[in-house]
Every structure is written in structure tokens, then in C-alpha cells.
A and B are shown apart, each in its own frame.
Chain A
């Protein structure tokens, strides 16, 4: 059986994006281990190196997950309407150019003002040359451009496939449900809501990110141009928070498709699911205000909007998706291969990381947790134990389907204990230290920071071992001959 050209090209794009994203992830994981080891007092880095590495680690991890997830999402959209592969490769070129610039800014540039590049920090009292700041800013702009290209392409495809925004957002399906069904129409499948919300919110937040990037580049070239620091902080956090948050919504598309495949059941679009995604569409772009609770000059009403939006962006879609996912698995006779295990465990990571996030977004609690290690605790949970697992889950569903086999029980235990068990130990260090008030973004921490960093470093090394075991297993399965039915 021969595979159509379009399917082969789409698979090549998906695997290119997956391999690139996971490679960057592995490199960033090594940096992360080095930083936690320094905080634990196990090793000593040169002054300033910690902050340069933290800058690269922060942006690298988010971009790695976005690249891997976007490749998968692009593949899903391509299954609904054929996409031009050249556009995906153009976006890929922008991403790679952006990553190269960011790496150059850090090694050898020593840029160290973190991913937030909060005005005026990258320009005042720096220990790195001015060119490193410029290259960092240009690298970020290139990566945003890659993201915008994919968002525009996917949005264009969805608008064409489902008949404009009304069809993409299934408005008639919700408000004229009976007539919609009687006419024999079908709403978009669940993964297309993930694509639509990513594309729409991605375009909006990228505009703000680009405006910030241009303003910063202009200030870098012409320091006589001032920027309003509060305005700048709003822009960068709107973009940064939304982009980071979207990685989970990008990756969750793999749950809708992968879990349905594993259980041999259909993941139906329902009215609650559609309405939940509307909530995400509207509130994800407003939730970032919770990063500015301590900015006393920020308009007070925006602080309350931030709290409400933080709850409404996450909770509805998490509840509906996970309830549907559990129902899909219940009594399905599912065989627990690595694909299904990753997807299911990822939902747990999404819930735990999400609860930790909305706790921190609650104003009275934020008084204690703001800018403590609780914050990296929550985003490491949803990235490492949510987004990454969704991506790996979909990847292994593909490999298992192709080869017609599952991994051995021993491999499943090794990988599971490594990535999920090691990951749990790793994030626990953040949560306990954060609850004790240890601040984030410090190379040298007050107690119990170093003690917790030791536990976290052990956890991260276990994650590394599990990740490497997963890579070997993936390569082994990829080399198995494809079954005739799945060629």
C-alpha cells in the first residue's frame, strides 16, 4: 500500500518539528540540571553564568515545546484541509534562525536579562555587551514571526474548511443545535478548536510581542527613545504568558486524536466542549494581568480581571477535556502502551500544574507566593508533566500504530518512573521551597532553597535518565518494519 504524497510530506513536517523540539528540550534539560545543581551547592558556575543560562533555559524550553506541538497541530489541520508544506518549512526556518540568534546572544554574548527582557533591564548595568541584547531581541522577533506564519496558515485553512469564524467556532452548533443536527452538519472535531484558539490568540498576542520587540530594538539602536516601563511590562507578559499558556492548548490536540485512537472510540465535539473552548479563546489573552499584581501603578480593575480570567481560561476546558478523556478510557479495553500512558499521565500533570497556577493567580494567596519558587513549580509541572507528555504520547501512538507493537513492561516502567516519577520529585522541590517563601530567579537561595534544590537535582537527573530511555525506545520502534496495514 503506497502512502499519498501529501500524507508523506505532512508526516515529514511533523517529525521534523517533533525532532527539533525534543532536541532543544534535551539541551535545555541539561542546562536546567546544571542550574539546580549550582543552587544546591554541588557545582559552582562563573558569576553571571547562572543568569545567562536561566535566560536561555526559559525561552528555550517554551520554544522547544511550541515547535514540537505546532508540528503536531499542523499535521492535524492538514488532515482536514491540505496545507502548503513550503509554508511550514518557511516558519521552521524562522524558528531555527531565532533559536540560533538566542544561542549566540547567550554563548558567547552572555546575555542575562531573562526571557522577560523587561525594560529597562537589558540596557542598564549589564555585564554583557550591547550587541548580545540586540541579537537576543532579533532572535525573539524571528521566532515570533515563525509562530505568526503558522497561525495565519492554520487560521486560513480552518476558515476555508468550516466556512468562516462562525463555522470554525461552531456558533450555529451551539445556538441552533437542533437545526444544525437536522441538516446533517458536523461541527469541527475537538482538535480543530485547539488549532483555532491557538491561531486566533496567537495572532493577537504575537502582535503585542512584536510591538514590544520593535520598541526594544528601536531603543537598543536609539537610546533617546524612551519606553513606558509599565506599558512594556504589560506587553511582554501578555505575549509571554499567552504563548507559554498556548503550548498546553497546542499539545492537548494530541489527546483528542491519540486517546481516541488508543481506545478505538471517537472523541466527540459536544456543546460543553465548544463553550469551554470559547472561554479559553476569550480569557487566555486576559489572564496575564495576574503577573502584575505587585505593580501598584497598574489600574486596580485589571487586577480583578486577571484573577477572574485566570480561572475562566483554564478550568472549563480542563474539566470538559479530562472528563471526556476519562469516559473515553473507561471500560474501553485500552492496552496501556507508552502512548496511552503519556497521554493519560499528561492530563494529571495538566490538572496539578493548573491548580497550582490558579492558586497563585488568587490575589490573597499571591501575596505570599508572588515571585517565589512556587511559580516555576507550577509551570514546570504543566510543561514537563503536561505539554511534554502530551507530545510524547502522540509520538508513541504513531510509533505503536506504525509498528503494530507495544513497548515491553520493563521499558514502560523505566520510562514511566524516569519521566513521571523523577518529574514529580523535581517539581516537589520548587513547591516546598516556594511555599516556604524562597524567591525565584536567584543563583544563591536562602534556606530551605539549597536543600530543596538538592532533591530537585536528583529528580531532574532521574528525568534525564527516563528521557534518554524514551529516546532509545522511540528509535528502536522507528526502526521496526511497518505493518502492512499501517505502512
Chain B
């Protein structure tokens, strides 16, 4: 195993261990902080996928299925960050860990499928996914009370 694959494996392992945190660490986390922690999971998973695929990604645009996977995975990740689920997950650590593993999967798929489609697209799609994850902390399930009814 060369150094790059070793590093990719270590990053993925660290991300999975971090994702399993609900199994060994309990406590309420505000929704905005929760979103940011999820963005960190997405980042780790995407980074691992980029390291795995680097530098063997095809230069010319590839097949449609890879493009659809890299398009849909960030959307699936955002749906997994459905804010009203968090209170349920806080009570069910195993379910919570499973949700985190789903984020690892979708983060990884975004980068991996993007790079399999064409070099650079995995990076671009990972960056936009990370942007979505970070921005979610600003208002997805987080708000001052509405003044209209």
C-alpha cells in the first residue's frame, strides 16, 4: 500500500470513528453545532474519497450514472440533516451513529463519483456540499420565533 492510500484509509477511519461518537459520548448539542459537526463528517469522508481517487481520475467527462450520483449524494446528505430528527437521535445513540454513517457514505460518494466522472468534478462537488453543510448551521431548523401567524 502506498503512502497516499494509507493516508486515505487513515482519514476514512478517523471520520468513521468520529461518526460513531454518539455510541461513546452523550449530551445535548444545539442544532447549529450539530450541523457543523455533520459538515466535518462530510469533509472527512469527501477528503478520503479524493485521496483514494487521486491522481487516477479520468480527464475527459465520463458516464451519466457517476454524474447523477455526485449530484444526488449531497442532497441526500442534507435530507439526513433533517433538524427535527435530532431530538430522536439524541435518545437513540445507535440510530444516531447510523445517521452519521449515512453522512460518511454520501460524503464519500459525492467526491468519489465526481472524480470518477472527471478529474476536478469530485473536488468541485465536495466543495459545494461542504458549503451547504456549513451554511445549514445558519438557519436550517434554527430561527428566532416568527412574528406572523
Seen from chain A, the residues whose Cβ lies within 8 Å of a Cβ on chain B are: 81, 83-84, 86-87, 90, 120, 124, 145, 148-149, 152-153, 155-157, 159-160, 164-165, 200, 203-204, 206-208, 210-211, 214-215, 218, 222, 224-232, 235
Which of these, B63, B70, B139, contacts A215 with CB under 8 Å? B139
Q: Name the distance in Å between A259's Cβ and chain B's nearest Cβ.
A: 29
If the complex has contacts A157-B60, A229-B146, are A164 and B120 also in contact, measured as CB distance less than 8 A? Answer: yes
Closest 5 pairs (CB-CB, A-B):
A231-B139, A228-B139, A156-B118, A207-B128, A226-B143
Question: Which B residues touch A145, using CB under 8 A?
Answer: 71
Question: Which B residues touch A84, using CB under 8 A?
Answer: 61, 63-64
A228 adjacent to B143 (CB under 8 Å): yes
Q: Name the distance in Å between B72's Cβ and chain A's nearest Cβ.
A: 8
Q: Give A160's nearest chain B residue, CB to CB.
A: B59
- Known A-B contacts: A159-B118, A210-B78. Give 19 more (CB < 8 A): A152-B70, A153-B61, A153-B67, A156-B118, A160-B61, A160-B119, A206-B128, A208-B131, A210-B75, A211-B132, A215-B140, A222-B82, A225-B82, A226-B141, A226-B145, A228-B139, A228-B142, A228-B144, A229-B146
B1 at the interface (CB under 8 A from A): no
Q: How far, in angstroms, from A419 to B145 measured CA to CA in the complex? A: 49
Q: Give B118's nearest chain A residue, CB to CB.
A: A156
Q: How far, in angstroms, from A148 to B124 measured CA to CA in the complex? A: 11
Q: Give B131's nearest chain A residue, CB to CB.
A: A207
A156 adjacent to B142 (CB under 8 Å): no
Question: Which A residues touch B140, using CB under 8 A?
Answer: 211, 215, 218, 225, 227
Which of these, A148, A165, A227, contacts B139 with CB under 8 Å? A227
If the complex has contacts A152-B125, A203-B124, A210-B75, are A83 and B61 also in contact, measured as CB distance less than 8 A? Answer: yes
Q: How far, in angstroms, from A214 to B129 measured CA to CA in the complex? A: 13
Q: How far, in angstroms, from A226 to B142 measured CA to CA in the complex? A: 6
B67 adjacent to A149 (CB under 8 Å): yes
Q: How far, in angstroms, from A449 to B120 measured CA to CA in the complex? A: 51
Question: Which A residues touch B129, using CB under 8 A?
Answer: 207
Q: How far, in angstroms, from A341 to B115 measured CA to CA in the complex? A: 43
Pairs across A and B, CB under 8 Å, 21 listed: A81-B60, A90-B64, A120-B148, A145-B71, A148-B71, A152-B67, A155-B120, A156-B119, A157-B60, A164-B120, A200-B124, A203-B125, A206-B128, A207-B128, A207-B129, A211-B132, A211-B140, A215-B136, A215-B139, A227-B139, A231-B138
Q: Name the distance in Å between A405's Cβ and chain B's nearest Cβ.
A: 37
Total A-B Cβ pairs within 8 A: 123
Question: Which B residues touch A156, using CB under 8 A?
Answer: 60-61, 117-121
Most chain A CB neighbours (cut-off 10 Å) among B63, B74, B141: B141
Q: Give B71's nearest chain A residue, CB to CB.
A: A148
Q: Name the distance in Å between A218's Cβ and chain B's nearest Cβ.
A: 6
B64 adjacent to A204 (CB under 8 Å): no
B149 at the interface (CB under 8 A from A): yes
Question: Which A residues touch B131, using CB under 8 A?
Answer: 204, 207-208
Question: Which B residues touch A207, using CB under 8 A?
Answer: 74, 128-129, 131-132
Q: Name the distance in Å between B142's Cβ and chain A's nearest Cβ.
A: 6
Which of these, B64, B84, B121, contacts A225 with CB under 8 Å? B84
Q: How far, in angstroms, from A90 to B78 measured CA to CA in the complex? A: 23
If the complex has contacts A87-B64, A120-B148, A225-B84, are A155 and B79 also in contact, measured as CB distance less than 8 A? Answer: no
Question: Which B residues touch A222, using CB under 8 A?
Answer: 82, 84
Q: How far, in angstroms, from A206 to B141 measured CA to CA in the complex? A: 20
Question: Which B residues touch A165, using CB under 8 A?
Answer: 120
Q: Give B144's nearest chain A residue, CB to CB.
A: A228
Q: Give A233's nearest chain B residue, CB to CB.
A: B139
B138 adjacent to A155 (CB under 8 Å): no
A124 adjacent to B136 (CB under 8 Å): no
Q: Name the distance in Å between B99's Cβ and chain A's nearest Cβ.
A: 15
B78 adjacent to A211 (CB under 8 Å): yes
B83 at the interface (CB under 8 A from A): yes
Q: How far, in angstroms, from A164 to B74 measured CA to CA in the complex? A: 23
Q: Name the distance in Å between A137's Cβ and chain B's nearest Cβ.
A: 13
B68 at the interface (CB under 8 A from A): yes
Question: Which A residues touch B143, using CB under 8 A?
Answer: 226-229, 231
Q: Give A228's nearest chain B residue, CB to CB.
A: B139
Question: Which A residues touch B94, using CB under 8 A?
Answer: none
Q: Name the distance in Å between B91's Cβ and chain A's nearest Cβ.
A: 17
Q: How far, in angstroms, from A207 to B70 measured CA to CA in the complex? A: 12
B135 at the interface (CB under 8 A from A): yes
Question: Which A residues touch B117, using CB under 8 A?
Answer: 152, 156
Q: Name the distance in Å between B73's Cβ and chain A's nearest Cβ.
A: 12
Q: Name the distance in Å between B109's Cβ and chain A's nearest Cβ.
A: 15
Question: Which A residues touch B121, using CB under 8 A?
Answer: 152, 155-156, 159
Q: Name the distance in Å between A159's Cβ and chain B's nearest Cβ.
A: 4
Q: Name the distance in Å between A409's Cβ and chain B's nearest Cβ.
A: 45
Which of these, A224, A227, A231, contacts B84 with CB under 8 Å? A224
Q: Name the distance in Å between B134's Cβ and chain A's nearest Cβ.
A: 10
Question: Which A residues touch B78, using CB under 8 A?
Answer: 210-211, 214
B135 adjacent to A87 (CB under 8 Å): no
Question: Which B residues touch A224, using CB under 8 A?
Answer: 84
